[in-house]
Amino acid sequence: MAFQSHKSPNLPMPPSEYNNGYFFDLIRSIGSYFSIHDSKAGLSLDSVVTDVIQLPIGSFTASNGANNNITLPNKSFIRVTGPTGAFSITGITKPANPDGRVVILYNTTSQNMTITNDATSTAANRILTGQGDVATTGIGIVSLIYSVTDARWILLTALV
């Protein structure tokens, strides 16, 4: 039977600010509707089709020059604003529950943003690029993931 022929589960309404409680309610709602089974975790979602992924959006106001040990809002997509000259990000404060945390930094300014490779910030907040410093030419996007094993943010992609 095709997915479209099934009645939709009653999903919780998205809150104005996303939090873990919303996602747990969402998984429980979906899980109660679909067949659940996973040999490792005891859970899986079978036959779920989704059209979009929506990430919570936040912002960070950077300053000209080096931005060390910056603290970001608890969001996945971060709009970087503020600087009137070239600037760098040398590290991001290690979040609570950091392993696998993904952050996308969107430089909305016309200023060059440099992601500094493994220097200046506190060790656990530093960024490993695998290729030296990486710079956007004005507007650009970088995505990072935190690795507890490496105790560093790891550059995934850079659209410069």
- What is residue 102's predicted lDDT score, i.e. its pLDDT? 92
For the cut 90, the answer to whether the pLDDT of residue 67 exceeds it is: yes
Map tokens 């919303």 to a residue. Answer: 22
Give the lowest-confidence range in 35-44, 68-77, 87-96. 35-44
Please give the Cα distance from 54 to 153 (Å, whole number): 22
Per the CB < 8 A criterion, the answer to whether 47 and 30 are in contact is: no
pTM tops 0.75 = no
Q: How confident is the model at residue 7 (pLDDT cuts 50, 70, 90)?
A: very low
